[in-house]
Amino acid sequence: MRLPSPADKLLEITVMGIAGAVVCAAALPFVPLPQPEAWTFLAISVLLHTLYFAALAAAYHWGDLSAYRIVLWAMTRAPIAAVAALREASVSFAALIGAVFLREGYGPVRVAGAALVVCGIGLLGL
């Protein structure tokens, strides 16, 4: 499997960022300005997204796509349905960990979503 070159990915990430900025700039005349107290959160959000995309570009540069490579490796050693089921189970585990350790709400919508994931995992196992 050939990974795209780092230069290609950096260019892709840059173009995506610029395209998003152009679309948002085109929408500005049609929406009101945010409240003054929201500007701090907007600035923090821009900073975090910039750091995220810089880290993503660095991951592409250094080839650190470990999780994806592990999944591909596992698919060569085990049935694809079983690997896919285990991979998707992480969503349910994350919801459970959030409810138990972080005291997040576990309402009917989350229960239904987790149940759908578990049902999908069961169907993949058939």
- Concatenated DSSP letters of 53-114: HHHHHHHHHHT--HHHHHHHHHHHHS-HHHHHHHHHHHHHHHHHHHHHHS-----HHHHHHH
Evaluate if residue 113 carries a pLDDT over 90.
no
**In the chain, where are the structural domains located?**
6-64, 67-125
Whether the model clears a pTM of 0.85, i.e. scores above it, the answer is: no
Share of the chain above pLDDT 90, in %: 13
- Residues 36-88 have pLDDT tens digits of 999 999 999 889 988 887 777 777 766 656 667 777 888 888 888 778 777 77
pLDDT at 4 over 60: no
